[in-house]
Amino acid sequence: MKNSSMPRRQHPISVLFFIMKIVKDMIYPLAAFILSTTLREDVHPLWLWGGIALFSAVAIALGALSWLRYVYRLEPNAMHVEYGLIIRKKLSIPRDRVQSVDMSAGIVQRLFGVQKLVIETAGSRKPEVVLSAVSKAEADRIRTAMVKDASDAAVTGAGSGAHNDGQGPSGASAGSADGSAAARPLYQVPTGRILLYSATSGRIFLSLAIIAALYSQFDDWVRNLGLFDPDAWEAVMPSDARGWAWFAAAACAVIWLLGTAVITVKEYGFTIERQGGKLLIRRGLLERKQFSVALERIQAVQVTQNALRRMFGCASVNLVTFASIKNDGQIHSLLCPLVPVRDIPELLAAFVPEAVWPEDFERPGREALTGYIAFPLAVAAAAAVPGLIWIPGGYGWTALALPAAALLHGVLRFRHAGWRLSNDGIIVRSGGFGVQVAFIPRRRIQWLRTKVSPLQARRKLATLQVVTASSSYAAVWLIRHIPQAKAAELLARLRGRQPSPSLILSPVSANRTDSGRS
C-alpha cells in the first residue's frame, strides 16, 4: 500500500485544467495579437496561424509542467502543497484551520470518474487548495484527514443525495456503528420551484441591461471585422417603431428563457442536509457540486423576497458567512433558492436553529414616514424636471412617473421597516418593493453604531447600524428613523448593558461600539 505521507499528483486529466488556466491568464495578449493581425491588411495570414500554433504549444507544455510540479502530501494534522514552475511555493494547511472541504464534478470530471476538491480555511477570501481532478477514493481520504469531525463531515459523494417531496424538512435515519439511528434533517427543493426561482431571478434583468448597452457597439464591431454585409444587415433589422418594439420583445423573451435555463441547470436538484455541526448542500445538473458550511461560521441568516416572488408567496434564504460577502456587498451563500414563506420557520428550525422566525415586529412610528420619503422624493422630482420640459409630443407628463415611483417606494420602505429584539440577538426587516428579513445573533455582531442627522434631530429620531464580521467586506443592516430612546435601548441591550441616557446622540453625531466581544 502506498504511504499516505508520500507526495502525490492529481489525475493526469488535470493537465487540461492547467492548460485552461494558462489560456485564461493569457487571453488578453492573445486577443490583442489576433485583432492586430486580422485588422491589418499588410500582415500575411501565416503570422496569425503561426502565432496561434505557437501559443497553443506553449500552453500545452506549461500545463504539463505545472501538473508535474504540483504535488501534495498528507500528514496526521496538516496538508502540504508544493507548486510553481520557476519559483517553488510551499503551502502548509493545519487541520484545525480548515473550515470546509467541498467536492464537485463537472462534465469532464464525470467522463473520467474523478472529482474536484476545494479546501477553504478560516478567514480566507479564496480557496487555499484546488485539486481539479482526483479520484473519488482520494477525495474521501483527503476529506477524512482534513475535517476535524470526520463523523459529522463524511459524505456520500458529489453526485449522491437522498430525496424528499420538497414540502418541508424531513428526518433521514442514518445508522451509526452501534446500529442506532440519528435523525439528519434533509430538504430538496422541487424542480418546479427551481424553475420559478430561475424565472424570477433579478440576474436575468441585469443581463438584459448589459446586452442592451453592448448592442450600441455591435454594429461598429460587425463593420470593422467584415463579418456581415452592412446593407444586408440593415435589410434584416426592423425599419419602424412597431418592428423595433416586436424585435425588442422577442429579444427579451429569448434572453429570459436562456437565463432561466442556465440558472435552472446550475441549481437543479438543490438539496440541503444537516450532519452534525455542518450543512451539506448539493446542486447542479451538468456540474454536480457539493459543499459544506460549518454552523459556527454562519454570521447571520437573511430571507429575501423580490417583487415577483412576493406574488407567489415565496422567498430565498441566504447565509452570511466569512466568505459570502463579496466586493459588491451582496450575499452569495445560498441556503435555499426558493421556499414558501409559510415553511420558513420549519426550515430554519431544522437547519439553522439559532434563527427563530418572529411572530411580529416592532415598527417605527408615523413620525418616521417623512424620513423614508423626503430625500428620495426630492431627488426624483429634480430628475423629472428635464423630462417635463424636453420630452416631445406632449408626453412630458410621463416624467411624473419617476417621483410617483419614488413616493411609492418610500411608503413601502416605511411599511416594511421593523425589528424584533431577543436575548440571543436581533431580527431586522427592511425593503421597498422587495422585503429582506435578517437574523443576527448577538454574539456575531462585530460592532454597532447610532447616527442622528439634522432632520432626525428635529423629530428625536436616530438610525441604528448593525455590522457582522467578515474577512474583507462587512454585512450591514440599518434600522432607520426610530426614536432616539429606542435606539439607545437597542444599543445597550445588544451590548449586554442597561440603557443609559448618554447613548442618546446629538445631531450629526455617531457612536460606534464593539459588541461581539462584550
The segment with the largest mean pLDDT, out of 45-54, 155-164, 188-197, is 188-197
- Rounded to the nearest 10°, the torsion over CA 351, 356, 359, 365 is -130
Non-local (6+) Cβ contacts of 454 within 8 A are 507, 508
Q: Residue 311 is placed in which grid cell?
A: 406574488
Determine the Cα–Cα distance for residues 151 and 160; give it in Å rounded to an integer. 18
Torsion of CA 352, 353, 358, 359, to 10 degrees: 120
> Between these two residues, 219 and 373, which has the higher pLDDT value?
373
Among the residue ranges 17-31, 44-58, 201-215, 400-414, the one predicted with the least confidence is 201-215
Cell digits of residue 325: 460577502
Asked, for residue 375, whether it belongs to a domain, the answer is yes
Strands 475-483 and 461-468: antiparallel
DSSP, res 397? G
Is residue 353 situated within a structural domain?
yes
**Predicted local distance difference test score (pLDDT) of residue 144:** 84
Query: Are 425 and 470 members of one domain?
Result: yes
Average pLDDT over residues 295-305: 89
| pLDDT at residue 317 is higher than 70 | yes
- E strand or H helix at 464, and its extent? strand 461-468
227: pLDDT confidence band, cut at 50, 70 and 90?
low
| DSSP type of residue 506 | P
Is residue 225 domain-shared with residue 167, that is, in the same domain? no
| Rounded Cα distance, 389 and 397, in Å | 9
Q: Tell me: the pLDDT tens digits for 416-438?
A: 999 999 888 999 999 999 999 99
**The model scores a pTM over 0.75:** no
* Phi and psi, residue 474, nearest 5°: -90, 150
Strand segments (E) across 78-169: 78-83, 89-94, 98-105, 114-121, 129-135
Identify the pLDDT of residue 146. Answer: 84
- pLDDT reading at 231 higher than 80: no
pLDDT band at 452 (very low <50, low <70, confident <90, very high): very high
Domain closes at, from 259, 292, 325: 292
| Per-residue pLDDT at 168 | 59
- Is 3 a member of any domain? no
Question: Residue 1 — very low, low, confident or very high, per pLDDT cuts 50/70/90?
Answer: very low
Residue 372, Cβ neighbours under 10 Å: how many?
A: 22
Q: What pLDDT was estimated at residue 208?
A: 57
Q: Is the pLDDT of residue 351 over 50?
A: yes
Tell whether 402 and 505 lie within a shared domain.
no
**Shared domain check, 381 and 436:** no
What is the DSSP annotation of 152-215? HH----TT------SSS-EEEEEE-TTS-EEEEEEEE--HHHHHHHHHT-HHHHHHHHHHHHHH
Closest CA to 107 of 263, 271, 288: 288
For the chain, what is the mean pLDDT?
80
Domain final position from 383, 413, 443: 413
Measured distance CA(86)–CA(62) in Å, rounded = 11
Query: In what helix (H) or strand (E) does residue 349 lie, and over which residues does it extend?
Result: helix 344-351
Of the spans 93-97, 105-109, 388-392, 424-428, which averages the highest pLDDT? 424-428
Query: Could you give the angle at which helices 14-25 and 45-69 cross, rounded to 10 degrees?
Result: 130
Identify whether residues 201 and 347 lie together within a single domain: no
Query: Which of residues 350, 382, 413 is at a domain's end?
Result: 413
Q: Which position has the higher pLDDT, 429 or 44?
A: 429
Are residues 156 and 56 located together in one domain of the fold? yes
Q: Is the sign of the CA dihedral 259, 264, 266, 267 positive or negative? A: positive
Nearest C-alpha neighbor of 426 from the set 242, 268, 301:
301
CA 364 – CA 417 distance, rounded (Å): 7
Max intra-chain CA distance, the chain? 85
| Domain boundaries, position 408 | 366-413
Any domain includes 7? no
Give residue 194's pLDDT: 95
The answer to whether 318 and 331 are in contact (CB under 8 A) is yes
354 with 492, same domain? yes
pLDDT of residue 328: 39
Taken in order 342, 344, 347, 348, is the CA torsion positive or negative? negative
Q: Which residues contact 276 (CB under 8 A, 6 or more apart)?
A: 149, 151, 152, 153
30: confidence class by pLDDT, cuts 50, 70, 90 = confident
123-132, 216-225, 317-326: segment of lowest average pLDDT: 216-225
Residue 62 has pLDDT above 60, yes or no: yes
Edge-to-edge strand order for the sheet containing 509-514?
A: 475-483, 461-468, 445-452, 509-514
Q: Is 70 exceeded by the pLDDT of residue 448?
A: yes
Judge whether residue 211 has pLDDT over 60.
Answer: no
431 and 385, same structural domain? no
Residue 9: per-residue pLDDT: 93
- Per-residue pLDDT of 455-498, as tens digits, reads 899 889 999 999 986 544 568 899 999 999 999 999 998 887 65
**H-state helical runs in 40-122:** 45-69, 107-112
For the ranges 227-231, 291-295, 495-499, the one whose mean pLDDT is highest = 291-295
User: Is 237 a member of any domain?
Assistant: yes
What pLDDT does 230 receive? 57
Residue at 381 is within a domain? yes
Residues 46 and 139 in one domain: yes
Q: What is the mean pLDDT of residues 299-321?
A: 91
d(CA 258, CA 83): 39
Question: Quick one: pLDDT band at residue 242, thresholds 50, 70, 90?
Answer: confident
pLDDT at 66 over 60: yes
Cell numbers linked to 464: 441604528
Q: Does residue 1 form part of some domain?
A: no
Q: How many domains does the chain have?
A: 4
pLDDT higher than 80, residue 399: yes
Q: Are residues 379 and 254 in the same domain?
A: no
Please name the residue ranges forming H helices in 226-302: 230-236, 241-267
Q: How far is CA 427 from the centre of its chain?
A: 21
Mean pLDDT of 506-518: 44
- Residues 260, 120 within the same domain: no
Residue 2 in domain: no
Residue 79 has pLDDT above 70, yes or no: yes
Could you give the angle at the alpha carbon of 107 between the alpha carbons of 105 and 113, nearest 5°?
60
Claim to verify: residue 432 and residue 284 sit in the same structural domain: no
- 3-state DSSP call for residue 288? strand
Contact 204, 260 (CB under 8 A): yes
